Every structure is written in C-alpha cells, then in structure tokens.
Structure 1
C-alpha cells in the first residue's frame, strides 16, 4: 500500500537537475510552552550521494542536565520512523549535548548514515515537489522523565510546484487568447451575428481565476497543491511589487491603517512561511529555526544503527493542521493582506491606462495610413469606432474581472483597516455592479421591444448598432438564449461574496462554491446556449472540471477529518486534471489562430450570401424562374399561425389569397389553388370580386422565399 501511495505521488514529480539528492529542514516550531530548553537555531541537511547528515544547532538551557530524545518522522500523514536515543550513547553520539550545558549552547557536526537506513528513504522523497514530511523531536529529562522541549520541523527537497516558468507560460496563454480575440474582433468589424472564437480571453482568464480561488479557501491544503495554485494568483492581480507595496502602506498609515504587523517591511523582516500557527509566543523566525531542528533530529534518527528501530510503520497519524486562507496566500507572495485590494485597484488602473493609450496609438496609426496610403475597406468600420471600442474593451474587462473584484472588495470591507481603502472598495464595487446592471436592463428592454414588434429577439443579432453596443454580453450564445449572461453575472457575484464573506469557514466556502458551480453546470447542460459546438464543448468541459475541483477541495476541509495521505493524493489528482485542461485550452487557442488565418468567417459568408440573394428582389416578374415552386428557397421561420403553404410572415404586408366559393360536393378541394389564381379578371361572383383588379398592371409579384426573415 505504501508503494502504491508513493507511485501516486510520483504523478506530480517535476524533473529538476539541481538539488535532486538533498533533504533539508525548512524552519522549526516549538510544540510545547514553557520549555526548559529553548532552541534558537537549527539547520540540518542530508545528502543522499554522500550519506552524510550535517547539522547546526543552538539554544539556551536553564540548567545542566542529561536528556534522552525521541524522534518521530512522518510523511503524508504516515509514520515512517520512530526512535528513542541517548545523545551520550553509541548509536547517535553528540558530544555538545552530553550533557546539555547550562546557558547558551551550540552543537555542530556531521554524521554518516548507514546504508541500511539510507536505502529505506524512498527515492521519490528527493524528487517529489513540496515534500509533505515532518520530523518531531521531544527531549526528556533522564531523572524526572518530564518533557524539557518539543520541536517539530518540516522537510524539503528543494523542489516545488510553484515555478516561475508556469507563471510565464500561463501569462503567455492568456496573452495569446487576448491577441486572438482582438484579431477576431477586427476581422468581424462591421459584421453582425458572428460569435467570438472559443476559447477566448474571458474563458481563459475565468479558468485561471478558478484555479487561483481554489487555493484561497480556509482549508488544510496539501503543500503540493497550495504551491501549484499560487502559480495563477497573478491572474487575480495579486502581484508583488515592492515599490507599490510601500506606497500603499504609506497611504494606509495616513488613513487609519495599522502597519505593526500588516506591512511590506514587516513581511520582509519576519520571513513568513506557509504553516500552521504556532502555539508558542516565539517569533516566526524562531519558528522556522525550530522546524529545522526537528529535521536535524529526524536525520539523526535515520543515521541510527539500532536494528530494533521500527522504521517501516505505516500507521496513519494525525498531522498538524495547516489551515490556509487569503491572508496567508497573500503573505506568501509578499503582499500584505491589508494591501490586497489597493494592489489590484492600482494594477487595474494601470491596465486601463495601457488600453486607452494603445487604442489611441492605433487611432493615430490608422489615420496616418488612411491619409498617406491605401486603407483597406474591411478596417473602415473599425477606424470609425475608436471610442466605442475603448468603452466596450473596458466594459469587457470589468465583466471578466467582476467575480475577483467582488471577492477583494468584500474582503477589504470585512478585514481592511483603512477607511479610505474601504470607501474605494465600496465605490468601485457599486459602480461596477451598477454598470453591469445597466447593460442587463438595457438588453432586456431591447429584447422585449424587438419581440413585441417582430415576434422574436433576432434583432439583437441582426441590427448592426445593437450588435455593436451590446454583443459582448451575448455574442457566444444562441439567439434563443441571449439572456444566459444574466445568471452568469449573478454567479460571479455570489461566488465572490461566498469566498470573501466566508473567510475562516472552509466548509461554508467549499459547500457554497460547490452549489454555485453545480447550478451553473446544470443551466449549461439544460440550455446548451452556445452558438457553436466548439464553444459548447469547451465551456461545459471547463464547468465540469470546476465542479470536480471544488468537490476535491472538500476533502481538505478539516471538519471532515480526512487523512493527510488522502489529501495529498487528492491534491495531486487536482494538479494533473487542471494542468491537462490548461494544456488543452492552450492547444485550442493555437488551433483557432491557425483556422482564423486560413478560413473565411462562416458568419460573414452567410450574411454576404443573404444580401446577394435579396439584392434584386424588385426585379422579379411573374414568369421569373426564381418564382417557381420547383426552385429551392432559403429556409423560412415557422410560425404557429401559418401552414406549410401559407407563407405570410411579419415582413410581408400582404399576399394574394383569393377566396373561392366552394361547392357542397367539392369540399375536399376548397383549400387547393385554383387554375386562374393570379390571372382572374374580376369576373367571379365571389363577394370579394369587387376588390380585385381588372388587369396585371401595377401589380408586384410576391417572391415565395425572399424578403422574409430567416
């Protein structure tokens, strides 16, 4: 079973050339209060190639005393090693601790690890990123058998899933999606009814936001997944920028903020690490040192030559909970939690400024092109709509970032300490919500107006001005499901409120977010609203992965009491699934880029064919071949009040339907077309005969398939 677990953990292994055979400590923590021996420094490193443990230990002691030590090593919740030894003994002899001197003491040295014990360290421990291992050392007095000190430390091999290259690659994927969306927008300028390519920039950023927020909940993440999710925090605007952080701290200090333990300088000095909060009053720096000491002891235990050591124990043991929240996530990135909202606000303002400058620069270039060169006709509509494009771009950015913006604003209102920052959060959240609400109300009004006047809402897609103004909200949806963007906006609002409002309550956050994801998935599966099969497949697949991801996050909730091994395996499965979907999105973006370069826009093609077919309607004559019943005509809309032979539609003011008085014996032919239809000379005894014309002069034929809405 243990080998199977290590095999599963190997799925997340990231090959690296450096530090491939070293295990070392990463900080320390004191796990008891009022300890007689106070450890102040501990560094331990084990090198597999040499089989040597090097340690450096320092601390203070109230009185000289002989001690015994008990070392316990666990990995992924399983106890791998347990050993009790005497520093004065032969197995592990440490002269500096035999006995522990009064006052300050320091112990440095190295020990050889026997091959019998070195071989029992799984090879995956040296390559598994974010190794979830822990060592615990308890010192006891030989005289009283009472505990004198308790130190626990975490092990690391130098590998992590928090890789800078992943951040750059993911940013490149988002940039590629943005470029493709821009090219598609320029190519379809002046063309209505054409859906945007999928996956687009909004799809990609929405997926990155999901992976980032999956790592912000107040649950006990395995370290491997916690590090992985931090690769995508940049997409939420949480970007460390020392100069900006210091400026924000000054702004907070001037508006009621407390910089004692919420500032960039404090983070630099404290060297915060992601771990459980210590039960002692020692500093975080001391806490890191203590973890390292526990690791040293763990290494010393591995060097033990006692054949009676039970190092194969696989019994599950409870590990220290490491509850993560938004505060710890931000501080890991060297962003004070009180600065989070102001950071994203400033970065958003910078992005808006870049967009405005970029569009204005494009305006200058195109105007010079039109003045001194041959300007292509397909860019003429784009050239005339700079300001509209700027407004739509900013609105689209707000739509994409809305869920994250709600999250940070609510968090600032709950946890912030600066009245000015809280005021800005309230104002921006109100403005963004009001803007989206305005567009939603406006689009609903237009849809109802079109439906009342014409019987359906097709004008949302067919009217050029309407499409240009509002299509960014519904361009990917079918005509009957234009309204889907409204529940999507509500989903973003509720999701952000749940994550930020439920800070500190992981079960509420996970369950609430799972409910949101399931409801949205049900809506998409029921309605299938996307205009293309590609968009439908991609968005439903992404939503399914979102549901599975948040369901897996439930495993990390402390209230459910899952073992550490189960949490780690679940985290690795999450990494594999989410990485696979990210790679698929990147491939699809590349495929769409290739297609957009070599294939004509099908929507523009259909529109051009329709315009060509309707161009010469007025030239039809009664004997024109296009008026023949044998000719195939474009597909017509079906209305409940018309039969297959009565083509009256909302765009035709009349159609000749002379009524004939049927004889009692020929009722079965009453609805058939008479032989003299269209050429009668007002000689019928029908009551309607007085309304008929005496000749064909001045009459216009009705083309059976043209001029109708289809």
Structure 2
C-alpha cells in the first residue's frame, strides 16, 4: 500500500519551495491614480508609475485631464498601514516639474521620466521594498496659490503603492490543492484496501480542511474594503471555489456569452488603456464614484453610454474620467485575471470538470485493477470489494464532490441573478440551484430515513448506516464524519452554507449588513459546534471547532474593516496583518496535521489500529480487513449480519427500494433476540433452517438482553458466535442471567441514547 501512495506526496515538498519568491529588483509601483475629493480638477484614466532606488528615477505612464489654470503647490501625505509618516508641501516650480508650473488645462498623455533626489530615496525605509503586500498610500492635494481659487484645494489624487512582493503565490495554491486532493484520493485507496476506519478519519480531515479553504476564499468575496495583504491571502484559496484562470477557456466563455445575447466586460483586456481602482472605502467612495458616473455619462459618446450603464448595473463602476472601480466578487475576478462577466461560467465549468475527471479516474482505476489482477501484478483479492461494487463507489464519490462544490455553485449562481450576464447563463444558474439542492436534499432525506429504520429495527442508527456496504459507500459522504447519533447534522451544515451564500451574493453593495450577517452566522456555527460536538471523535471535534473559531474571528475582522466603529486607519491596517498571520498559521498547522496523519496511515502496518474504536460502535459493523480476519466463525457471523455477500457492496436489503424495507408493523416489533425463530446466524446454521429460503433482514449480532457483556463489542460477538456454533441456540446460562439483569444494550452506549 505504501508504494502506491508515498510517491505523490513527494511533490508537496517541491511545491512548497515555490512559495518562496525569488529575489527581484527593489521597486515601488502604482497602477492607478484615484480621486479623493468631489469636483477634482485633475483626473487620470491611466496611471502607471515605477520607482527604482537603484537608478533614482520614476517612470511615469499617464493619461490625464486637467481643468486647472493656476499656480499650485502639492500637499503630499504618505502613509503606511494607516500611519502617516511623511507630510510635505512641494512647489513644482522649485523642482522644475514641467507642465505644472504653472498648471494649465489640457490632456497629458505622453510617458516621461522624473529624476528623484538621493535625499528622498534615503528617507524610504528598507522594509518598504521587502514587506509583502505593502499597504502604502500617497495622497496629493493640489492647492491653488493664484487665481479665483487661491488658497483652496482644486484637486486631490491618491495612489496605492506596491513593492511587487505578495503572498498571492502560485506555490501556496498548488500546495494546498495537492495536499487536499491527495488526502481525499488516499482515503479512497485506503478504504478499497479494507481499512474503513482509517479511511473515514483521513477523508473527514480532508473535507474539513477543504471547507476551511473555501471559508477563507469567501472572505475575499465580500463587498467590503480589505487590506492588500488580506486580498492577496484570500486569493490563494479561490481555486477551492473553482475560480481558476485558463486562457483558452476564457475565450470560450466570452464567445458563449456574446452568442447568447450578453455583453462581455472588457476591463482585463483594456488594462493598457485604463486604470482599475480596487475599492478603498465602503460607502463614501461608491457614492462619490456614482456621482462622477452620472455626471460623466453626459460627456461620453453615445456608443459608450449603453456600455457604461450596463457596467453600472452589474456593480462595475465606471468613473467619468474612464477608470473602473471593482469590489467584492468583481475584485476577486479582476485579481484572477478573469472578466467579471465570465466568473459564473468559470466556477460552473470547473465544477463539471472535476466531476468528469473524477468519474474517468474511477473507471480507469477499475480497469487497471482488473488488468493487474489478470496479469498477476496484484493479488486476486486486492480491491475486490471495489471491483465488484465500483458503480456504488462512483455514485458516492460524485455525491461527495457535489457536497464540496455546493458552496461555490450556490454563491456564483445566486450572484448571477444580480448580474444577468446573458439569458442562457440565467437559465444555467436556476438549473444548478435546483439541481444541487434537490440532489443533496434527497441524499439527506435518505440518510435520515435509513437511520430511523435502523433505530426502529435495532435501536441503533449506526447498525444499517455502517453495516450495509451499499448504504455506506453511496450515502456515507453525508454522515461518516459525524458520530452515529448525529447523522442528521448534515442538514445544519447545508443550511449554514446556503445562508452564507445568500448574504455574500446579494449583499455586495451593503458591506455593514454583510459583515453583521456573517458574524451572526459564524457565531451560531461556533456555538453549535462547541456545544453539540457532532463529529466522530474528540480529535475531529477539536479540528473542526478550531476551524469554526478562526472563521468567527475572521467575521469580527470583516466588521472592523467596514469602519463602522470609526477606528483610526492604523487599527484597520494592523487588524489586516493579524488576519493574515492568524490564518496563515492555522492553515500551516492544519496542513501539517493532515500530511502527517495521512503519511502515518499510509506507512502503518495496521492503519485501523492507529485509531481508537469510536463510541458509536460503527467499527463493529464496518467492513475492516483486520477486524474480520480473527476467526472463521466470526467472519461468517459478520457477513450474515451485514446481509450481503462476502465481497462487493451488494446487500440483501435494498435501502433504495421501499418494497424491500420492513412494513410499519414490523418496524415496531421488539428487536429479535437469540431465541427468535428468524434470527440471523452463521451460514452453516442458516442453511439447515427451514426458513433459509426466505429473505433475512439483518439483525443486531448481539443479544441486548445478555448481561455482564464485556465493554469490547468484538468480545460480545465472539461470545454470541461461539454459543450459536455449538448448539444453534443461546446458552441456558445466558438466558437465565437475562432474567435478573436490565442493563442497557452495549449498542446503545455512545450512540446518542445516553445523552
């Protein structure tokens, strides 16, 4: 088994090396010049400046319009993380700045180079060139010193400054995606080798980690101003939502939208001609930009008016001077290099691609196993259960992918209602909302129904949920990560995901409402997780509660970013750094835990033995290689109790067929005891019985009336098996003791009955 799995994990170490950026030339760069006051007399639709301390020059590429005709001075303020460390007044006539002494109206559109003195270069701290995602802003007030507006500010512009260093790294994306993917694949292979207990732990950890990645990606989707480091960090996990830029696919999406009556956006394709402003403040900027848009529409050519109106409707704000403002989901699309009108199709198509590739991989693996068994490359019984029941396994895997893709598909589909990119895409959005909710709702209903039947027949929900291989492999993705008595917890999880999707999709223009709603949702999730602890064991509960706690802290930080508390900008900058550090540490710890636990399982001689048996006794029912190989009698009894064949995922009880399930009157009968006439026994006994020709409904293999049963359920099964194999009936001593003892069944302990 180790030889099958250890090689792919070597790729992780190479991918981690990619997270360390290569040493590059020190630069300071700005890509947009934004207005910071109404009726600004100086605006720029294109602004790109690169300053290099090695050459002491700044290369400027600008397309600007000035309506100012006066002598002016520049009031310059430079701040880092909200702290203003430089405030200086510069007279353009003293520094011989051409075109600004005096300032004249007209258009400025030719690139030029500005020499920067060595004194100014020495005042820039060295950390400014190395700290990733520097949150630095240069704001310039242009104050008139002559004319009718003398002594007042006639324009205000500001530029975000970056040093080219970022935590938005391709290595982080690949490393996180490969670890989660290999863990899920490893759990499937481990399960196929017969180690169901270990496989369920690995799969539950991988699913929890993937949901955490998606939660971090959702932080980047909110319509709230986020510090640069938070924007970059959350961008690392947008792959978990299917937001991945592939060039030829974007061309196909643009063609599809245009051919179905839509109007594609062109922001990304025109970056060489216009600037894009990442939303800096929540409400004031949008109100100002909306005002500029309305005033600017009248100045535009008629051909641009319709295009600008369409952009405004979709949430893309086009200013009067030709630049764009993006926020929330559009901000994520822009940072990913995807046109906002292609984002919905990008997420949906990648959801389809993952499902198709997974289905092809399962079919290919099935074919390889059959070929390897025929060619004697592997033992004939290796992966035999998978080879016999691969269709059921495939259904379960596709349902699991549907569960993983539920959050991104809901967010993008609901958001598409606010965009109306094309009539065909609106139809697709409706289809996917209905398809995913019906599919997962039906699956949840089936699990609850099966669990109720199990309780009615065996007084334990774990019995049918874990003893029937077909049920476990088809529907187990919904409940295997929870303890048996919390089989229903998938419904709160789906509700939690859908509620977050609603507020993220529909509250893009109401940042405060969005932040408060997410805070309440995450608080409810944390309280529910800490109080109910529905997961399979203490380790998984701690793993998931830690994730809920970090998500709750992230929601608090989002509320702070809305500036609803009126805190100084420095506080906002510090909180952004705290969010990045907290999530980076948590992600690293969770990744290492998953990698270490998966590798230990892979290289362990007895993977199931590494984990303690869970209190809900699921391991008594699940097919596990080392548990069912103890004795021939115990193996026969376990096969009969499961009601299936020795290999494969077939079952004598078809839980998808209502006719095969017991009638309502049968459901309320007392659970059969060893002296019942129709009791399931070992095959040697069953064949000698006159009722062997009738279908046998699985019963619990342990007599709930037997007192003084050992705490280990396997000892109980051995006692029952031994008694049956010798006499065909329960021992008289056991029956006698049952009359003087009313202790509860061991199957009831830890299954939710003692709560």
Q: Which residue of 2 aligns with 1:681?
A: none
Structure 1 unmatched runs, 5+: 1-13, 284-321, 618-647, 656-696
Q: Which residue of 2 aligns with 1:608?
A: 628
State the Cα distance separating 1:430 from its structure 2 match. Answer: 0.8
Q: Which residue of 1 aligns with 2:221?
A: 216
Q: Which residue of 1 aligns with 2:384?
A: 380
State the Cα distance separating 1:583 from its structure 2 match. Answer: 1.2
**Equivalent residue runs for 1:643-662 within 5 Å:** 650-653=672-675
**Equivalent residue runs for 1:384-463 within 5 Å:** 384-459=388-463, 460-463=465-468
Aligned length, in residue pairs: 584
Matched position secondary structure for 1:377: coil
**Equivalent residue runs for 1:669-680 within 5 Å:** none
Farther-moved stretch of structure 1 (383-392 vs 587-596): 587-596
Q: What is the alpha-carbon distance in structure 2 between the residues aligned to residue 333 and residue 34 of structure 1?
A: 33
State the Cα distance separating 1:15 from its structure 2 match. Answer: 7.6
Q: Which residue of 2 aligns with 1:668?
A: none
Q: What is the alpha-carbon distance in structure 2 between the residues aligned to residue 698 and residue 360 of structure 1?
A: 44
Q: Which residue of 1 aligns with 2:362?
A: 359
Aligned equivalent of 2:260, options 231, 255, 271: 255
**Equivalent residue runs for 1:22-41 within 5 Å:** 22-31=27-36
Q: Which residue of 1 aligns with 2:479?
A: 474
Aligned equivalent of 1:79, options 69, 77, 84: 84
State the Cα distance separating 1:383 from its structure 2 match. Answer: 0.5
Per-residue CA deviations over 1:639-666 (Å, capped at 9, x if unaligned) read: xxxxxxxxx98533379xxxxxxxxxxx
Q: Does 2:205 correspond to 1:165?
A: no
**Equivalent residue runs for 1:313-352 within 5 Å:** 324-352=327-355
Matched position secondary structure for 2:138: strand
Q: Does 2:200 correspond to 1:195?
A: yes
Structure 2 unmatched runs, 5+: 1-18, 297-324, 610-618, 638-669, 678-726, 739-744, 748-755
State the Cα distance separating 1:180 from its structure 2 match. Answer: 2.3
Q: What is the alpha-carbon distance in structure 2 between the residues aligned to residue 579 and residue 594 of structure 1?
A: 22
Q: Which residue of 2 aligns with 1:308?
A: none
Q: Which residue of 2 aligns with 1:533?
A: 538
**Equivalent residue runs for 1:115-264 within 5 Å:** 115=119, 118-144=121-147, 145=150, 146-188=152-194, 195-197=200-202, 200-259=205-264, 261=265
State the Cα distance separating 1:202 from its structure 2 match. Answer: 1.6
Per-residue CA deviations over 1:569-609 (Å, capped at 9, x if unaligned) read: 11111111111121112212222222212141235367427
State the Cα distance separating 1:398 from its structure 2 match. Answer: 0.5
Q: Does 2:720 correspond to 1:701?
A: no
State the Cα distance separating 1:229 from its structure 2 match. Answer: 0.8
Q: Residues 472 and 147 from structure 1, CA distance in 2 versus in 1: closer, same or farther, beyond 3 angstroms?
A: closer
Aligned equivalent of 2:547, options 520, 534, 542: 542
What TM-score results when the alignment is normalised by the length of structure 2? 0.70
Q: What is the alpha-carbon distance in structure 2 between the residues aligned to residue 64 and residue 268 of structure 1?
A: 29
Question: Whose RCO is larger (CA < 8 A, sep 6+)?
Answer: 1
Larger radius of gyration: 1
State the Cα distance separating 1:494 from its structure 2 match. Answer: 1.6
What TM-score results when the alignment is normalised by the length of structure 1? 0.74
Q: Residues 246 and 558 from structure 1, CA distance in 2 versus in 1: closer, same or farther, beyond 3 angstroms?
A: farther
Per-residue CA deviations over 1:149-168 (Å, capped at 9, x if unaligned) read: 43322222221222222222
Q: What is the alpha-carbon distance in structure 1 between the residues aligned to residue 728 and residue 518 of structure 2?
A: 68
Q: What is the alpha-carbon distance in structure 1 between the residues aligned to residue 433 and residue 631 of structure 2?
A: 44
Per-residue CA deviations over 1:60-85 (Å, capped at 9, x if unaligned) read: 66686433332222222222222223
State the Cα distance separating 1:612 from its structure 2 match. Answer: 5.8
Per-residue CA deviations over 1:503-531 (Å, capped at 9, x if unaligned) read: 22222222222222222222222222222
Note if contact 1:219-1:324 (Cα within 8 Å) is conserved in structure 2: yes
**Equivalent residue runs for 1:630-645 within 5 Å:** none
**Equivalent residue runs for 1:4-19 within 5 Å:** 18-19=23-24
State the Cα distance separating 1:394 from its structure 2 match. Answer: 0.8
Q: What is the alpha-carbon distance in structure 2 between the residues aligned to residue 262 and residue 112 of structure 1?
A: 35
Q: What is the alpha-carbon distance in structure 2 between the residues aligned to residue 616 and residue 147 of structure 1?
A: 90
The CA RMSD over aligned residues, in Å, is: 3.6
**Equivalent residue runs for 1:465-544 within 5 Å:** 465-544=470-549
State the Cα distance separating 1:204 from its structure 2 match. Answer: 2.2
State the Cα distance separating 1:330 from its structure 2 match. Answer: 1.3
